[in-house]
Amino acid sequence: MRVLAAGIMAIVFAIGYWPVPVDRGVRSVLAAVFDRLAAAGAPDWVDYAHLEFGANIVMFAPLGALIALLLPRWEWWLAPIIGLALSLGIEFGQALLLPQRFATPLDVLANTAGATIGALIVTAVRLSRRRSR
């Protein structure tokens, strides 16, 4: 389990510290897709900003789940705090070291939400299993 958590953390840090935006090569394709969706009547919230926010949530959810699994059952609440700390580390690193990347508070919020969702899923499964016994 720790090896899996370390692997996922390495992937998250690789994405977070990639020297250029990870969507650089597909940004124009995504813009065209969103333009077509808008022309087809998609709601205004179907846009790149929401996709990026959701991707940050999805990226941190497995990490939050694995951290919660590594912690004792009653300390699951530490997983979102650890997720917040990791996210802040990534965003500060981007701001200080990577001039082509953009550190934003929304990324910290999305990453922390992802870690929280992952931890809550683990907690819900643990509670469900405990009640079924």
pTM over 0.85: yes
Instruction: Please give the Cα distance from 16 to 103 (Å, whole number).
Output: 10
Q: Which of 49, 65, 60 is nearest to 124 (CA)?
A: 65
Q: Which two tokens stand for residue 57?
A: 């949530």
State mean pLDDT over 119-131.
Answer: 93
State mean pLDDT over 40-65.
Answer: 94
Total domain count for the chain? 1
User: What are the C-alpha distances in Å from 94 to residues 75, 113, 115, 127?
Assistant: 30, 20, 20, 38
Q: Which domain holds residue 95?
A: 2-132
